[in-house]
Structure 1
Amino acid sequence: MFRKILIANRGEIACRVIKTARRMGVETVAIYSEADARALHVRMADEAICIGPAPAAQSYINIDRVMAAVRESGAEAVHPGYGFLSENPRFAAALAEAGVALMGPPTSAMEAMGDKITSKRIAAEAGVSTVPGHMGLISDADEAVRIAQGIGYPVMIKASAGGGGKGMRIAWSDKEAREGFQASKNEAAASFGDDRIFIEKFVDQPRHIEIQVLADKHGNCVYLYERECSIQRRNQKVVEEAPSPFLDPETRKAMGEQACALARAVGYESAGTVEFIVDGARNFYFLEMNTRLQVEHPVTELITGIDLVEQMIRVAAGEPLPFTQAEIPLKGWAVESRLYAEDPYRKFLPSTGRLTRYRPPAEGLHGDMVIRNDTGVYEGGEISRFYDPMIAKLCTWARTRQEAIDAMSEALDAFEVEGIGHNLPFLSAVMAHPRFREGRLTTAFIAEEWPDGFRGVALPPAELRRVAAAAVAMNRVAEIRRARISGRLDHHERHVGSDWIVDVQGESLPASVLAEPGGADVTFADGATIRVEGPWTPGRTLAQLTVDGRPLVLKVEDATGGFRLRTGGADLRVHVRTPRQAELARLMPEKLPPDTSRALLCPMPGLLVQLLVAEGEEVEEGQALATVEAMKMENTLKAERRAKVARIRAREGDTLAVDQVILDFA
């Protein structure tokens, strides 16, 4: 076994590897950029080495600098995590030349699976089901049309060296095939320096289901069942679960065996993932193989009890797998939600800044369910604009799918994150969506259910009643405290009124409250009574209550005349007033938001890379005005209407805050 390993990565995956290595008694070395000097993975490792400036090209993906750290540390092996250099054959070759073990596959397997055309050919030769298509080079648009006609529309036109959705087009006709071929070719050349294109059958209503494989250096290969990864936004996975709610045992076995056949065909070692597209009839087709650990690996660990990182370390050290296929259990259900520093109310634009509050739900066994949170941040730390916006991977496990989803819903509500924009409300909305809960998933789920973007959640009437009841009970506790502090109340609580009006989500609900030491009964105007129990006290930012016999978790902020309450993806301004206060409140004029129509505002924290207009210039609708960069993404801001630039308030190179004015229009 190795004495010391280096983790060629950062953030939550580096922390994840360190935890397993520590349990195994293996020393760890972290590498970090100047921007990550105070990062959690640096604090956790036994040693840490700075490898360069903040940009990844000058640090985390600079092979020379990473190799220098390997030599300096004396590490005997490297775990590459995911992203960065994890699937880079040149890095694998450099490690091999230096006599340092890579916790990953041989360079030959990495190269074979890294090219989409080559990987599909090898898969077909290994007996793996592949999408009907043309894997050879395509010379021109006329040939592309002939091939598409032979396959049958719709077809997918793809760049061989593609990734992240670049160089991809769907064609439903000869015209679209001709146009799509040229557009994909141009985009592939610009993005990857490789304009090779292939065409395959487009699978309608597809699910994205992947098989986890594990192979050693002794010819053993097993599959650890599947993960459903269909909840995606712009080809980026958002929610994953294991197993899939769609597969039957026969399909699961067939997919697993084919995944192992492919791994054996390329001499694979270590953990890897074979991705498939599955149609509504459970026909499955090979998509690609990821020659590394996947972001969503925790759900596989939760249903099998197998630590994949530990097995990667042991395989790299030459140990055989300690189990056979028949010995791998499949227990319960696990769900993973990816928490990102991105604002769902602003088209999921990245958000940066300091985590003024970061309180995940407690990890471990809670009754019959498990909570796990893989993270690389801490309260008071900063989310940098230089790297991926992932904050954490929140996972829950339970005996059934519905119980795992319920556990996830509660855990998301209990997850406190302040100081930056984040997607917790959106994740909660996914968990509550009837279609998700029923398991009716495709890769188009998010686009179909939120076609105009995420605007928050409106709670259904029954759930709104529960929140209103909780607000009345909490308000009573707050009123008693306020009265005692002011001297208006001694130990007798009867002086606090029992009749209240709750204004929430556009509704006005009269209610009365009757309290005793065990809780409170809140009765509404129609006579319905809801019981509220739970030890909330004023000032606490989290209320974990039992309302109407079911758990209700609320994030709580004080507000004039009530609270700001967040639960289930809803962000609610709740007023709790006496009947007289409510009557007077209705007479108050509505405060209107400021008019920002004559200004270009920065939609996210970031760097102003380009300013494309000048003062006095007339601009047209849709014209590019400025480019802002954050978290590896460039966002071009465009004019929404014809106007004249009156004043420019920012300069290229400025670091901008959310809603900072870039320029004014006349």
Structure 2
Amino acid sequence: MIFLRMTGVLTCKSFKAYVNLGISLTASARTSNLSLSCTQLRTVSTDLIYPGEVTFGKILIANRGEIACRVIRTAKKMGIKTVAVYSLPDYRAMHVKLADEAVCIGPASPRESYLNIESILKVVKDTRAEAIHPGYGFLSENGAFVTMLEEFGVTFIGPSAQAITFMGDKLQSKRLAKAAGVNTIPGFDGIIQDADHCVEVSRQVGYPVMIKASAGGGGKGMRIAQNDCDAREGYRISTEEATTSFGDGRMLVEKFIEKPRHIEIQVLADKHGNVIHLNERECSIQRRNQKIIEEAPSVFLDEKTRTSMGEQAVSLCKQICYSSAGTVEFLVDQNRNFYFLEMNTRLQVEHAITECITGVDLVHQMIRIAKGHPLQLKQENVSIHGCAIESRVYAEDPFRDFGHPSVGRLYQYMEPTHLNKVRCDSGMEEGSEISLYYDPMICKLVCYGSTRKEAIETSIKAMDLFVIRGVAHNIPLLRDVLTEENFLKGSISTDFLKVTYPEGYKGKQVSHCEKMKLSAIAASFFAHNDLRSRMFLNARVGQVKGEKPSSWSTVVKHCDLEVPVRVMKVDNAFEVEINGKIFTIRGDINLALPVLELVVNNEQCVVQLLSKDEVGKFSLIYQGTTFNVFVMTEVAARLSKFMLEKPKKDTSKIIASPLPGVIRAISCKVGETVVVGQKVCIVDAMKMQTALVAVAAGKVKSIHVKEGDVVNEKDILVELE
């Protein structure tokens, strides 16, 4: 009997078909949260798990967060025991709870824990794990680590050390790509020696150029230079970032392709010479060279270009005798000319959208390949079904340079997994902590649809229902991008955010009608709250103190609006009159709920109530953005005009940290005179460096920190006289 592994939801029709064919579900599939509905379809895996197929007895996951949880879940479906490793701050993390065993490997710093090869090898020995899955990041592309595992007799669930080394060096990988017949970007064929050399090479290649780390990836150690000054500064910052993140500060310089698309090809290769590609992913929506929204397939590629890109990706894999899952990344210009960017010899963050449109579990395939099994999939078996979009939900403030990291504890957290065609890959739950030491990702929100339009609509609905409290997050930006005209048309490039929001992201720009609607909703909340406050303690429903009001006269202040509003309670609804327009609001107005799904004038409307206070301030999340709406009685509104505004404090002589992080460098001394725009220090947070500059000229009065200090947001670092 064949056992079918399920990675998503089956339609009633397909489920009956599988039953009629005599196919049974594994116990793990039967007990997983899979609902069957005739109207829903996410993904049905084409992978088959055979009970008699030899696999590993126990694997160790050398990672943390959502990717560790992701690997553990597939391992459990395959009947494999799992070992988690964790740093001291992660002792209550979800991946620790999910694994069969968990071992602490060191303190918070990645260098002393998740990058500590000696500690991880000791855990391998103590737990007798047969294999290691590295996830992505950390040790996933460390050839020396793979070599050490081979000496230990432990299998690395990934490619060979040689393949990792070849592709991990961007200069060498570019040379190998050329040899394999892959299109490459023009640039300097060598390593940059210093800042002066960087300027010299940049002039030869021709501005604009991309300065990037030879090792690593993930957008770290990369800067665009438009002139000599940019080249010098870009070389310095990129070198520091690359050294911090990868332990390798070597730099390359290439021609910068303007307005490109970032499109990548997923590949699978076994140890028997079989190589296939699983089509493409569009990853052009980025901030600071890091992806935030990906989709599969790309709306831009035609079949000819898709086939050519896939063939070149397969050719490169064969050139280096690659085995395992991997991704070949390309830059594609407006004429569909494509150029090799790099190859990631690991599982990608965005692998889930490929799984959705192909039905292939990539983690399952990686484990099978590592065990030595040949691919059962042929290229002709791989097709595209529907569209999937992944939105990376990060703990960061999108109103500050599209995303300054935010740290803290999630005191309330609700994923929209109750929706059809929604998959949330995360390692978070209520009480989880976002640390400054690690990537600020909260969740990968993956939404599937039979069409791109459906996938976008599902993504928007999921974001409206996603509850995150305790840290800033980038859902406002993600949601706004999904509604932007050029995104809807598929007219995007890697500079999409800068072009769309040239002055930075300012939040959802609501129309006058939407402002009126929000005012009406807040006014109905005010009336509901007033009724509730009149209830006697432990009273029967409807029993109130004194006379029960049926109407309220208020004044609402919101954005540039200040309007008189009359609210009336009519049966099970509120009727709100603003400037002669009536808004009828129905639904369960329970202000204790984080999400309220209302009907306003017969239209569905979802709002989240962040907070309310005694002076009538309602903080509402509407279409992703937080709006503060003030609802006051007429008397309170009249008296508020006499309230004095608190004078603003002059902070021009104070340089404070804009985010939590570690002080990496201090570029000034006490008594030294600094000018406007001069860099005074560098803060490193979540592997990204932020240079802080003086906003006013003056003499340095005091420096409150030293290199290596951990600082919180708004901590004063430097004061000027």
Q: Comparing 587-596 with 541-550, which one deviates more in the overlay? A: 587-596
Does structure 1 residue 308 correspond to structure 2 residue 369?
Answer: no
- 1:104 is aligned to 158
Alignment partner of 2:531: what SS?
helix
Shift of 1:147: 6.2
- 2:629 is aligned to 574
Unaligned runs of 5+ in 2: 1-54
Shift of 1:228: 0.9
Shift of 1:66: 1.6
Give CA-to-partner distance per residue, 1:560-613, whole Å, 9 cap, x none: 214111122422111223445444444544445544344332222234566666
Give CA-to-partner distance per residue, 1:32-59, whole Å, 9 cap, x none: 1223222221121111122222221122
Contact 2:185–2:340, Cα closer than 8 Å, also in 1: yes
Alignment partner of 1:262: what SS?
helix
Does structure 1 residue 94 correspond to structure 2 residue 94?
Answer: no
Letter in 2 for 1:33: S
Q: Comparing 599-608 with 21-30, which one deviates more in the overlay? A: 599-608
- 1:661 is aligned to 716
- 2:516 is aligned to 465
Partners in 2 of 1:294 and 1:652 — Cα distance? 34
Shift of 1:554: 2.5
Contact 1:475–1:562, Cα closer than 8 Å, also in 2: no
- 2:489 is aligned to 438
Letter in 1 for 2:593: R
Give CA-to-partner distance per residue, 1:109-133, whole Å, 9 cap, x none: 2222222233223223323233355
Contact 1:611–1:626, Cα closer than 8 Å, also in 2: yes
- 1:359 is aligned to 414
Alignment partner of 2:628: what SS?
strand
Partners in 2 of 1:509 and 1:621 — Cα distance? 43
Does structure 1 residue 65 correspond to structure 2 residue 116?
Answer: no
Match of 2:442 among 379, 388, 391: 391
Q: How does 1:294-333 map to 2 (within 5 A)?
A: 294-333=348-387
Alignment partner of 2:551: what SS?
coil
Q: How does 1:466-615 map to 2 (within 5 A)?
A: 466-485=517-536, 490=543, 495-517=549-571, 519-527=573-581, 529-548=582-601, 549-559=603-613, 560-608=615-663
Alignment partner of 1:495: what SS?
coil
Please tell me the root mean square deviation across aligned C-alpha atoms, in Å. 3.3
Partners in 1 of 2:127 and 2:248 — Cα distance? 37
CA pair 143-381 structure 1, distance change in 2 beyond 3 A: closer
Q: Comparing 628-637 with 534-543, which one deviates more in the overlay? A: 628-637
Q: Comparing 308-317 with 561-570, which one deviates more in the overlay? A: 561-570
Q: How does 1:33-432 map to 2 (within 5 A)?
A: 33-132=87-186, 135=189, 144=201, 148=205, 156=210, 160-161=214-215, 163=217, 164=219, 166=221, 169-170=224-225, 191=242, 200-347=254-401, 348-361=403-416, 363-364=417-418, 366=419, 369-432=420-483
Contact 1:211–1:256, Cα closer than 8 Å, also in 2: yes
CA pair 510-234 structure 1, distance change in 2 beyond 3 A: same
Partners in 2 of 1:227 and 1:141 — Cα distance? 32
Contact 1:458–1:570, Cα closer than 8 Å, also in 2: no
Normalised by the size of structure 1, how large is the TM-score? Answer: 0.88
Unaligned runs of 5+ in 1: none
Partners in 2 of 1:188 and 1:501 — Cα distance? 53
Alignment partner of 2:72: what SS?
helix
Give CA-to-partner distance per residue, 1:519-546, whole Å, 9 cap, x none: 444443253x444332231222221223
CA pair 141-336 structure 1, distance change in 2 beyond 3 A: closer
Letter in 2 for 1:358: Y
Q: Comparing 484-493 with 554-563, which one deviates more in the overlay? A: 484-493
Letter in 2 for 1:320: P
Shift of 1:283: 1.8
Partners in 1 of 2:631 and 2:211 — Cα distance? 57
Shift of 1:379: 1.9
Alignment partner of 1:538: what SS?
coil
Contact 2:703–2:718, Cα closer than 8 Å, also in 1: yes
Match of 1:622 among 655, 658, 677: 677
Alignment partner of 2:535: what SS?
helix
CA pair 200-145 structure 1, distance change in 2 beyond 3 A: closer
Match of 1:21 among 49, 71, 75: 75
Letter in 1 for 2:628: R
Normalised by the size of structure 2, how large is the TM-score? Answer: 0.82
CA pair 481-184 structure 1, distance change in 2 beyond 3 A: closer
Alignment partner of 2:534: what SS?
helix
Letter in 1 for 2:715: Q
Shift of 1:185: 7.1
CA pair 601-512 structure 1, distance change in 2 beyond 3 A: same
Q: Comparing 372-381 with 221-230, which one deviates more in the overlay? A: 372-381
The number of equivalent residue pairs is 653
Partners in 2 of 1:156 and 1:243 — Cα distance? 27
CA pair 205-506 structure 1, distance change in 2 beyond 3 A: same
CA pair 248-651 structure 1, distance change in 2 beyond 3 A: closer
Does structure 1 residue 635 correspond to structure 2 residue 708?
Answer: no
Shift of 1:447: 1.9
Contact 1:530–1:547, Cα closer than 8 Å, also in 2: yes
Partners in 2 of 1:438 and 1:503 — Cα distance? 36
Shift of 1:431: 2.4
Contact 1:7–1:29, Cα closer than 8 Å, also in 2: yes
